[in-house]
Chain A
């Protein structure tokens, strides 16, 4: 992680495997992207919009939001299990996180998702 280690390093400076942290970041990216994807898909498909209407008073936002939260939690559990106790390419994980979060922001921006309105 860019800092030198020496035998006198104490527990406070000894590195930890970055896998669990990377799992949290990538999962957050996947959750953000899922939110954007669901938001756009409900504009494309009336059937999907009805499918995501989990609560009548709230409308399709209920399924879009809770669906994204479920995707995020599942992605986090899978990634955390896979990368537990290991070091992975943190730069790559961060790059994917940023791309997915950017897509999440983009696909929740009204001029973008409403362009797909049927």
Chain B
């Protein structure tokens, strides 16, 4: 049971940070959804607000850590100009080259939208605080943007998992 340095970084980038991101997203969306005065008492809003602010900031920070580690640590190994790099292996075979030309090309770019949107949502929730429960339109806007951040991260995560299956970074 040994992992190389590269495998460890790949696990950290995709599995550990990705799982944290998913957990934070699920909790954050549920918190935003029910943050309504007709559903929660003022004490309830006060009680859950700290958790919502912390959860959305954790999601934003996790997204930043994921894209920075992916782009500046794992990606150079993926695209190394050697015949055994994952990119070279995928492009060498007609049946796998689309994994790079579509999957990796999409993943490496769209992923960067996730932390930008997640940070904006975390800021808006922090800025309004408990007042957000009474700002229905802002709350709904935050939910939409939050979901778009998740979509961007989801595309990157799904293709990352498939790419690592097709041509692992070792």
Q: A residues bordering B, Cβ < 8 Å?
A: 1-3, 12-16, 18, 20-21, 24-25, 27-28, 31-32, 35-36, 39, 55, 57-59, 61-62, 64-65, 68-69, 72, 90, 94, 97-98, 101, 104-105, 108-111, 113-114
Contact = CB atoms under 8 A, between A and B. Distances in A.
B21 interface: no
A28 B131 contact: no
Given A1-B136, A12-B42, A28-B120, 20 more contacts: A2-B137, A3-B134, A3-B135, A12-B131, A16-B128, A18-B138, A21-B128, A24-B124, A25-B141, A28-B117, A31-B116, A35-B109, A39-B109, A58-B72, A90-B138, A101-B148, A104-B113, A108-B113, A109-B106, A110-B101
A13 B134 contact: yes
Q: How large is the interface on B (under 10, 10 to 19, 20 to 34, 35 or more residues)?
A: 35 or more
Interface SS of chain B = helix
A90 B137 contact: yes
Nearest to B64: A69
18 contacts: A2-B137, A3-B136, A16-B128, A21-B127, A25-B124, A28-B119, A32-B113, A35-B109, A57-B76, A59-B79, A62-B72, A65-B112, A90-B138, A94-B141, A98-B144, A101-B148, A110-B105, A110-B106
Most buried by B among A12, A55, A111: A12
Interface of B: 42, 45, 67, 71-72, 75-76, 79-80, 101-102, 105-106, 108-110, 112-113, 116-117, 119-120, 123-124, 127-128, 130-131, 133-138, 141, 144-145, 148, 152
A12 B135 CA distance: 11
Most buried by A among B42, B79, B112: B112
